[in-house]
Structure 1
Amino acid sequence: MDILPAIDLKDGKAVRLSKGVMDSAKIYSDEPWQVARRFEELGSKWVHIVDLNGAFMGEPANLEQIKKIRENCNLKIELGGGIRDEKTIQMYLELGVDRLILGSIALKDPQFVKDMAKKYPIAVGIDALNGMVAVEGWAEVSTIQATALAKEFANAGVEAIICTDISKDGMLCGVNVNFTEEIAKESGLYTIASGGVKDINDIISCKKNGQIGGVIVGKAFYEGTLNLKEAFSIL
């Protein structure tokens, strides 16, 4: 199982939100690249980056910070937020990003995602509230079940599915292991749990499950409730 520490970018700063609400943003660093370097020092192989402004705007909005992160660490970068077309995918890959996350567009145009997955390293981001898919920076909740959307990409060449329980995101209340397991079973894909990680027990629960390929760690690191070095050591 992989642990992917997260950097959420808002107005060029590393922040964390509570339940995806932009006004809840708490700033943790004015220099996100320094956070990425710290993740590398602690033993991470990946960094999970979300361009929050981009998710709302539908286009890249924190490009300079993403460039700085790429230039200052050797981590593999998984990036999402505002990626809606092939040109943006190509731009980020040329920049040195290793995997792109397609979220809102996966619901609105699943064929586009399947086409892109045949050519590029693509992950599908499925964010859900009460089991229903949310899009546009979580500002809209659809009538589509998250498990149904996951099944749509079962044999599409997608590298990973990242599933987030919005109700738990940034709340330090524990991972929704059952939800992640359902997504993994429906898709048959490498599935990454996101939202709610509090401490080492969450890492252990995800690892023990056996269906979960990775887990994203955000606020637990920033607030000090999870020792990231210890988390990597138990893997």
Structure 2
Amino acid sequence: MIIPAFDFLEGKVVRLYQGNYLNKTFYNINLYQYLKNLKKKGVKIIHLVDLNGAKKREDRQSRLFQNIISSTNMLIQIGGGIRTENDIDALFHLGCERVVIGSSAIKNKFAVRRWLKVYGPDKIVLALDINIVNNRKKISINGWAKETNHTLEDTIDFFSTESLTHVLCTDISKDGTLSGPNISLYQEIVQKFKHIKFQASGGVSNLSDIIALEESGVNSIIIGRSLLEKKFTIEEALKCCQNV
């Protein structure tokens, strides 16, 4: 499944290079027409990230997301600075299908495990962003500013006790670079955690990347910059998945 991604900063569509707020590119698109076209072409779900909310909860772009959700009947998952049940409830109240939990999965892991039980595993996506150091998949948090000693494998094991289902895994070194995804990473974790529906994110630059990711066994492929910069069309991307 292809999941187009849109990051928002101050109400505008933006892409960061390797998560760096100082290295950003804004995209001047007619967002609502763009979303209508995605729906028309067969896209089922989109991924939205609140970069303002990720830095400061008080700056959450709730009105923007409310407008987006009310404008489309595509399923929407939203991440960025979700730290409390109130944050989750507010997004579900807007009509969000899934919430994406990042740093809190490490900093407040027992609460997040409880959220999986309260809301159900199909409503929570864990965003586990990693740097691979000496073959260890170490998770970074706080907008990738802080590397932890928690590994991808140990974290998935911890939350699997509450039937964890959805994991969005990003190789930070690939994000926003158009340098190609880390195919071997996804091949490895798909084989190790057969109960997880992995969403692959980072580095997709061409149709061959999509085919390779689809063949790796991931459930979904998140695509941001390459679609915005018209490296290929959404029709071509969707067709790749159908033909694998």
**Per-residue CA distance 1:103-128 (angstroms, 9 max, x = gap):** 10001122211111112210100001
Which residue matches 1:167? 173
Counterpart pick for 1:124 among 105, 123, 126 = 126
Would the alpha carbon gap of residues 34 and 141 (structure 1) be closer, same or farther in structure 2, given more than 3 Å must change?
farther
| Contact residue 33 and residue 65 of structure 1 kept, 8 A | no
Which residue matches 1:8? 7
**Per-residue CA distance 1:162-210 (angstroms, 9 max, x = gap):** 0011110010011112222333344431111000011111111111122
| Contact residue 32 and residue 65 of structure 1 kept, 8 A | no
**Residues 209-228 of structure 1 correspond to what in structure 2 (within 5 A)?**
209-210=216-217, 212-228=218-234
Which residue matches 1:196? 203
**Residues 1-235 of structure 1 correspond to what in structure 2 (within 5 A)?**
2-29=1-28, 32-58=31-57, 61-120=60-119, 121-130=123-132, 131-187=137-193, 188-210=195-217, 212-234=218-240, 235=242
Could you say what secondary structure the match of 2:235 adopts? Answer: helix
Could you say what secondary structure the match of 1:230 adopts? Answer: helix
Could you say what secondary structure the match of 1:92 adopts? Answer: helix
Q: Tell me how far apart the structure 2 counterparts of residues 216 and 13 of structure 1 sit (CA, whole Å).
A: 19
Give unmatched runs, 5+ long, in structure 2. Answer: none
Mean alpha-carbon deviation: is it higher for 151-160 or for 172-181? 151-160
Q: Tell me how far apart the structure 1 counterparts of residues 156 and 106 of structure 2 sit (CA, whole Å).
A: 10
Q: Tell me how far apart the structure 2 counterparts of residues 185 and 154 of structure 1 sit (CA, whole Å).
A: 15
| Contact residue 17 and residue 23 of structure 2 kept, 8 A | yes
| Contact residue 51 and residue 62 of structure 1 kept, 8 A | yes
| Contact residue 123 and residue 161 of structure 1 kept, 8 A | yes
Q: Tell me how far apart the structure 2 counterparts of residues 185 and 66 of structure 1 sit (CA, whole Å).
A: 35
Give unmatched runs, 5+ long, in structure 1. Answer: none
| Contact residue 11 and residue 64 of structure 2 kept, 8 A | yes
Q: Tell me how far apart the structure 1 counterparts of residues 130 and 232 of structure 2 sit (CA, whole Å).
A: 24
Would the alpha carbon gap of residues 129 and 136 (structure 1) be closer, same or farther in structure 2, given more than 3 Å must change?
same
Deviating 4+ runs (over 6 angstroms): none
Q: Answer with 1 or 2: which has the greater Rg.
A: 2
Aligned length: 233
Q: What amino acid does structure 1 have at the position aligned with 2:199? A: I
Q: Tell me how far apart the structure 1 counterparts of residues 101 and 17 of structure 2 sit (CA, whole Å).
A: 21
Please report the TM-score for the alignment, with normalisation by the length of structure 1: 0.93
| Contact residue 8 and residue 14 of structure 2 kept, 8 A | yes
Q: CA RMSD in A?
A: 1.7
Mean alpha-carbon deviation: is it higher for 144-153 or for 113-122? 144-153
| Contact residue 129 and residue 165 of structure 1 kept, 8 A | yes
Whichever structure has more helix as a proportion of its residues is 2
Q: What amino acid does structure 2 have at the position aligned with 1:3? A: I
CA shift for structure 1 position 233: 2.1
